[in-house]
Amino acid sequence: MNIVVLVKQVPGTDNVKMDPVTGVMIRSGKDTIINPLDENALAEAIAIKNSHENVKVTAVSMGPESAMKAIKEAIAMGADGGVLISGRAFAGSDTIATAKAIAAAIRKLGDVDLILCGERATDGETGQTGAMIAYYLGIPVATYVSAVEVKEGGVIVKRTVEGGFERVEIPFPVMVTVNKDINEPGFPTLKGKLKAKERAVPVYGPAELGLDPAELGLKGSPTRVVKVFSPKLSRDTIMKKADGTTGPVEEMMKFLAGKEAI
């Protein structure tokens, strides 16, 4: 059984920076982490590996060279290997261009039974990429999953839906996006860190994936950020002092009525 886990390197929550000219996120900062929900996906893949025979877990990430850190950390956590999708051609990719590249990398890995990832990333919060990858691969997708049970030929997943849960049986291959309720991620071991240090991780560019550079990066991204700005909060304060009459109260009532607050 082959499992692919998608691990995205994201800025620390307090370190998100945007390029005001291009409208894309700056990902060159040193303060980066694995997307928290992808850690849940990785922990679930490792749990499946530890409870079943002949299971291989491969971590896949797309980003700058610094994203190799996310792959190495995934291997230290228990993944068997990893692949990094990287190159200038991928810079500025929206969810569509990103999904095309990751789907191409998964196809290059051969027969994959189960793909796991977080339901969304903390930097973009779109929750679109997992479903788009499934579309480009032509496989079913289950979203908002809080439990995965592997059975012969497929999985039974527990999905969080409005008002409760639903259980769905899906055959392999399948994409599953998980939420934080699925498990509690663990920590890398010393043995895992040593394995990660020694393990070679291939880097795929457009040529290795057989992709046209025109389909990637800003050129291949139909999504456009028109303007990036920080909202300015301002309030006009009107002070009324009590003067022993009903005047200030009457003026306040007129103000509230004008705002349709009463």
Look at 170 and 31; give whichever has higher pLDDT: 170
| Weakest-pLDDT range from 22-26, 36-40, 209-213 | 22-26
**C-alpha 7: how far from chain center:** 7
Give yes or no for residue 24 having a pLDDT over 70. Answer: no
Give yes or no for residue 244 having a pLDDT over 90. Answer: no
Q: What is the pTM of this model?
A: 0.79
Residue 240, domain member (yes or no)? no
At 26, the pLDDT band (50, 70, 90 cuts) reads low
Residue 211, domain member (yes or no)? yes
At 259, the pLDDT band (50, 70, 90 cuts) reads confident
Buried b (16+ CB within 10 A) or exposed e, 125-157: eebbbbbbbbebbebebbbbbbbbebeeebbeb
Query: In this predicted structure, what is the pLDDT of residue 252?
Result: 84
At 166, the pLDDT band (50, 70, 90 cuts) reads very high
Query: What tokens does 146 get?
Result: 């809080």
At 23, the pLDDT band (50, 70, 90 cuts) reads low
Give yes or no for residue 178 having a pLDDT over 70. Answer: yes
| Weakest-pLDDT range from 28-32, 92-96, 136-140, 150-154 | 28-32
Residue 132, domain member (yes or no)? yes
Query: In this predicted structure, what is the pLDDT of residue 17?
Result: 60
pLDDT, mean of residues 243-250: 84
Nearest to 4 by CA among 157, 173, 147, 136: 173
In sequence order, what are the residues at sequence separation of 6 or more whose Cβ sits closer than 8 angstroms to the Cβ of residue 181? 146, 160
Residue 235, domain member (yes or no)? no
Long-range contacts of 206-213 (CB under 8 A, 24+ apart): 206/87, 206/89, 206/90, 208/108, 209/85, 209/101, 209/104, 209/105, 209/108, 210/104, 211/100, 211/101, 211/104, 213/89
pLDDT, mean of residues 237-246: 80
In the chain, how many domains are there? 1
Query: In this predicted structure, what is the pLDDT of residue 164?
Result: 92
Expressed as residue numbers, the domain containing 113 is: 2-215
Residue 236, domain member (yes or no)? no
In sequence order, what are the residues at sequence separation of 6 or more whose Cβ sits closer than 8 angstroms to the Cβ of residue 2? 55, 56, 58, 109, 110, 111, 112, 113, 114
Q: Give the CATH number for residue 46.
A: 3.40.50.620
Query: In this predicted structure, what is the pLDDT of residue 199?
Result: 93
Residue 14, domain member (yes or no)? yes
Residue 143, domain member (yes or no)? yes
Residue 155, domain member (yes or no)? yes
Tens of pLDDT along 189-222?
899 999 999 999 999 999 999 999 888 988 888 8
Give yes or no for residue 261 having a pLDDT over 90. Answer: no
Query: In this predicted structure, what is the pLDDT of residue 223?
Result: 83
